[in-house]
Amino acid sequence: MTVGSQLNVYLDRARGDLVAARGHFLARWHESRPFRWIVSLFGAGVVLAVAAYYAIGAGLPSADKLLTYQPPLPTMVRGIDGEIVNSYARERRVQLRYVDFPKQMQDAFLAAEDKTFWTHGGVDIGGLFGAVVDYASKIGSGQRAKGGSTITQQVAKNILVGDEYSITRKLKEMILARRIEGVLTKQQILELYLNEIPLGRQSFGVQAAARAYFDKDVKDLELHESAFLAILPKAPERYGRARYKDMAIARRNYVLDQMVRNGWATEAEAAAAKAKPLGLVPRRVTNYDPAGGYFIEEVRRQLIARFGEKAEDGPNSVYAGGLWVRTSMDTEFQRAARDALRAGLLRYSAGKGWGGPIATIDMDDNWQTQLIVSNLAVDYEDWRVGVVTQRNGSRAKIGFTDGSEHPLSNLPDALKAGDVIAAAPKGSDEWVVRTIPTVSGGLVVENPQTGRVLAMQGGFDSRLGSFNRATQALRQPGSTIKPFVYATGLDQGMTPATLVTDGPFCVWQGAGLGEKCFRNFGNEGGAGQQTMRWGLEQSRNLMTVHIANDAGMENVTNTFKRVGIGEYGNYLSFALGAGDTTVARMVNAYSALANLGRQYEQSVIDYVQDRNGKVIWRADKRRCEACNADKWDGKGMPRLKPAGRQVLDAGTAYQVVHMLEGVVTRGTAVRLRSLDLPIFGKTGTTSGPTNAWFVGGSSEYIAGVYLGYDQPRNLGGYVQGGNTAGPIIKQLIEDTKARWPTEPVRAPAGIRMVRIDRRSGKRVFEGWPTNEDKPATIWEAFKPDTEPRRSLDRQTLEEKRVAAIAAIKAAAEERKTRAAGPRRIDDNFLEEQGGIY
């Protein structure tokens, strides 16, 4: 018989069987009512199942989304040297590739969660049946049914569906699991699962969990440790706790037995693993150096403003976008800045008594949780932050976040239960009250050649409060603003040797307001005609006001605006620092001086990369198109355009720097002279005094600091910028001295160095400058054709001419004043106008 004829025989036989079956079905249908009910119910069930499938599945997300799925990842922050210095994360997440997961780790999870993973099509029928039985047995008990979800279904739940407890969710899981199996390979599904599964201790994925529970990478885990991680999906917040240790060991050993049963481990290996303790490390936070707290928080603020905070804000959000951020933070300078400012705050606060608690909490059985949630801490020596749990006369106890309580001594009278304080250990168990300074301040270090901020300290410790006094505290800058008044005078034709009157200066404001008069620090009288240099070195208010008036106050405030200090009205009190500004702005303004008038935009972030490494933002926005040419075009090498902008004349900037060097060698900042470095700078003390300042540095580094109370009040009559702020910058420089240049700022083209008499400003033709503290002859910097003339006779005639013009002006003013009526003198003008020393 041929193959064709044999096939025809089979087909005829099948048709006959089908006709017979149809006949049998119809006969049963007509003869038996129960049969008709059973068939009808079955058909209705099928229809309903199909309808439910399409109804539930119609609104589900596409499994194709998993092909481009981007998990939420933390933002990693690097310092200027490329080392990781911090991260912004609310969850522990580390993404690995499938090949990075050890087979032992994979087998442990498959043994615990889905032993038929490699063979099923997304749904395990046997496991599903068991879950249905478990669900039915727990109806009405309030307990949650377990089991039945394959790894593919868990991927659907974790990424696409959510964790709602319902039959509908389980059906959605099953539908999506089938779809996922048609889109992704088994390896891709397992990779997603092992990277996304929540495993407790704020960790998602096995790598993050390995670090959280064992402080190891997955490749270094032993068999018993892999088995422990595999039990966590069932109850991640239970098995990691000490009180459930026995339950965790029993479940871990069960997983090991399953691995043996499936041939993924030998009995000997499992026995050895069972003999091991859990070996969990204590719960811990990521250990980054807290020295950069204020700097890191400023970076976070800027990133959130630019990219958003949460995943809903965009693909590059701070807490989900997986950004890589390169900052300009120099860890050496940052630690030095923190230590120097702290030392200055403690030095000022020494002997002033306890300043009160850091915070207060309600004392109840939950004090430990309240203390943890407050997130207050201090990183200074061996100090810790705790709460006073008891106070009975001369006895007290302090409690810490670990729940421990200890005796507390050195008790201030005002100390009471509920006060959150700092304390230091004394002996084996006793603790002693320590005082966090109530005075505060801010310090910034910047590279003037780039505008990059190298260090930023905004208070005693960022974990005591996030308010950053380096960038957010608006304070009067005092005499630190004077160099820019002098720069305006130089732009208007004056020279460092120009004689300026250090004498009374009054402003007649009309019959209603009377006459307002300025004065020098300490109500000192005037010193007569003195050079501009001497006036800046000695910080003479009256000379500064004369210069501002002669140069034009509008020109002065325009200078302030150009260098970024602030925008102020055209009032003479602003020439003495009465307007508000920040340390960061003042440091950036002085950077323009150090860089010969060219100023760069201040930055704490160099560039930002997305999770794939693409640069999505950079501080230096210059482009060099010709740099990408395929071949040389025969022309000169392409170069980037100069960055920044010229905000001051180069010659003017250098003349101011040269005078400010004198402030350090023989002026109000002479305490820094012992550094034996070419440092320039200016002190400042605001009226009260309420703030003490110093800003200055070198050609490569500019540092600025202020010290004062957050709610301004008198610091004490002895406080000046030179004796309070200057030593802070001095310590900063001493701690980083090897980094500071030994060459002074170089003069720009055209500047002429001329020997002059330091006090009179006259040109000297005999003798040379010396290294004495206050030499009679010094080198002075002049712009072309502005130096004192060589002829002494001509110089004398010029001085007489200037004096005669001044006398004529004074007489005219006197006549005008007499015509206006009697004068009312107000010697308190400085205080009323926020006047500055």
pLDDT digits (tens, 9 = 90+) for 781-829: 999 999 987 655 555 556 666 666 676 666 666 666 555 555 443 433 3
Of 355-364, 422-431, 500-509, 613-622, the range with the lowest mean pLDDT is: 500-509
pLDDT tens, residue by residue, 422-445:
999 998 899 999 999 999 999 999
The pLDDT value given to residue 298: 97
Tell me the average pLDDT across 641-663: 96
Mean pLDDT of 225-230: 95
**Structural contact between residues 689 and 837, judged by C-beta atoms closer than 8 angstroms:** yes
Q: Which two tokens stand for residue 239?
A: 């098995």
Residue 73 Cα to chain centre, angstroms: 18
Catalytic residue among 440, 479, 591, 698: 479
What's this model's pTM, rounded to 2 decimal places?
A: 0.82
Percent of the chain with pLDDT over 70: 82
- Cis peptide leading into residue 748 (ω within 30°): no
Lowest-confidence segment of 49-58, 96-105, 154-163, 442-451 by average pLDDT: 49-58
Position 164 pLDDT exceeds 60? no
For residues 124 and 85, the model is more confident at: 85
Mean pLDDT computed over 25-35 = 72
Q: Among this protein's residues, is 113 annotated catalytic?
A: yes
Out of 180-184, 457-461, 484-488, which region has the weakest mean confidence (pLDDT)? 180-184
Whether residue 343 contacts residue 375, with contact meaning beta carbons closer than 8 Å, is answered with no
**Of 815, 639, 664, 829, the residue nearest 744 (C-alpha):** 664
In the predicted structure, residue 72 carries a pLDDT above the cut 50: yes
* Whether pLDDT at 605 is above 70: yes
What is the Cβ-side half-sphere exposure of residue 677, based on CA atoms within 13 angstroms?
22
Cα distance between residue 306 and residue 317, in whole Å: 9
Query: Rounded CA gap, 236 and 214, in Å?
Result: 15
For residue 135, pLDDT beyond 50: no
Banded pLDDT at 358 (limits 50, 70, 90): very high
Look over the chain and give the mean of its residue pLDDT values, rounded to a whole number. 86
HSE of 722, CA atoms in CB hemisphere, 13 A: 15
When comparing pLDDT for 628 and 466, which is higher? Answer: 466
Residue 834: pLDDT band by 50, 70, 90 thresholds? Answer: very low
Q: Which helix (H) or strand (E) holds 533?
A: helix 532-537
Residue 669: Cβ within 10 Å count: 28
Residues sharing a CB contact under 8 Å with residue 319, sequence separation 6 or more, in sequence order: 72, 74, 75, 88, 89, 90, 309, 310, 311
Mean pLDDT of 733-755: 96
Question: What pLDDT was estimated at residue 9?
Answer: 64
- For residue 238, name the pLDDT band (cuts at 50, 70, 90): confident
Q: Considering only 192-196, 363-367, 537-541, 789-793, which range has the smallest mean pLDDT? A: 789-793
Clarify whether 479 is annotated catalytic: yes
